[in-house]
Structure 1
């Protein structure tokens, strides 16, 4: 079986966001329409503000919310009074016409405030209407992993509480008509490599599963100098708490199964 993944470039018009990283893009649905919501991120300092000392410095992008209509290729920028600081490496969870923004890092003050915003998007005919609400205290976290475990239910794991402190707890998040609900959960039993490592990274694999990578600690590290772990989260029945497991597959090359022709993935780009 041959699977081809294609990347289609979409021409956008209007108020376009500049190049950035550390931002989030969410999909909202309102009044039978669909749009993408882009917020946050970090980019290089504008050329007009660069000097010899800070020519390669990065700053947070202005705290504008970009609304992108992929059907018609229109993009608009929105400034909301509740969003006063740019931020990066936050989390964004969407349900229907709302996007919840959690945590993040502010470069200007070098802090991770426990902020939680709810963006409400109404895709009205002619001009969209956006509003923002500041909710209760959130998580002081950056660069975390979010994996879904059910319908609008998620587990947040990984990330950092400070530059030198990993966030070892897990958080269960549920979105409903009332709002957002968060509860701390016991994490999997981390092994010594995970506990002692100063850095970790990864991403969501599928429902209830995440991949976590930890540098091996060797200096200089070889190309394969990372330990990889698969974490699984499952909801128990009768309203019980979800269970967590952390396992590591063999990292030996001889134990790796070859990629069969029927499983090959092809990446292409449409003209």
Structure 2
């Protein structure tokens, strides 16, 4: 309850994209009412551009914490936009952004393992590691079975970031993931393709710094869900 929530970016009903970072923390609670405080965090350095369809996580290393922003979509650059494609979006560059939650300092990190942009993926954080699962590429209109491991070390001085490609990923976008145990997560819903919803469910098992994604029995639901 003492941990803050971080909210970044998103799209408004007027199709405007945000690059703001907000911190929401619990101020007080009683049996009937929870009171939260939401404040905007000023960012500096290599600030992530306005986007949506991305993920934000917090990792912990050596007694410190840092925010990690990955993926998403943004509008084309102003010089490339015309009246006909004014609202056309592209995948953001596949950089990994680190944001200091205390001072708002941002750094971007590029990796050869991340060759193309993606969005509407899944991500989960555990200690100093983030796993990126699936996602949709708007450039190729595909949902490759991505599975990346991003490890962040926070020594004195500059942070160290490592990105690895893992096997055993699944093709999925716009799904819901929830934690069902200390080392277990469940994935439901989402899309295999633009016109094919995912009717299967998956379990993610995390153990000894390893990740395993397996199919599990799904409820008897219809494509209308």
- TM-score with structure 2 setting the length: 0.83
Q: Does 1:36 align with 2:67?
A: yes
Unmatched 5+ stretches in structure 1: 198-213, 215-271
Q: Does 1:57 align with 2:88?
A: yes
Partners of 1:109 and 1:32 lie apart in 2 by 41
**Could you tell me which residue of structure 2 aligns to residue 110 of structure 1?**
141
- TM-score with structure 1 setting the length: 0.69
What root-mean-square deviation, in Å, do the aligned CA atoms of Structure 1 and Structure 2 show? 1.1
Q: Deviations over 1:84-120 (max 9, x none)?
A: 1110000001111111100000011110001111011
Partners of 2:223 and 2:219 lie apart in 1 by 15
Larger Rg: 1
Q: How does 1:164-179 map to 2 (within 5 A)?
A: 164-179=195-210
Unmatched 5+ stretches in structure 2: 1-31
Q: How does 1:3-14 map to 2 (within 5 A)?
A: 3-14=34-45
Is the Cα contact below 8 Å between 1:40 and 1:61 reproduced in 2?
yes
Q: Does 1:143 align with 2:174?
A: yes
Q: SS in structure 1 opposite 2:40?
A: coil
Q: Does 1:15 align with 2:46?
A: yes
How much has 1:164 moved relative to structure 2? 0.6
After the TM superposition, which parts of structure 1 deviate over 4 Å for at least 4 consecutive aligned residues?
none
Is the Cα contact below 8 Å between 2:168 and 2:212 reproduced in 1?
no
Partners of 1:50 and 1:10 lie apart in 2 by 30
Query: Alignment partner for residue 154 of structure 1, among 185, 190, 199?
Result: 185
How many residue pairs are counted as aligned between the two chains? Answer: 194
How much has 1:152 moved relative to structure 2? 2.9
**Whose RCO is larger (CA < 8 A, sep 6+)?**
1
Partners of 2:43 and 2:83 lie apart in 1 by 34
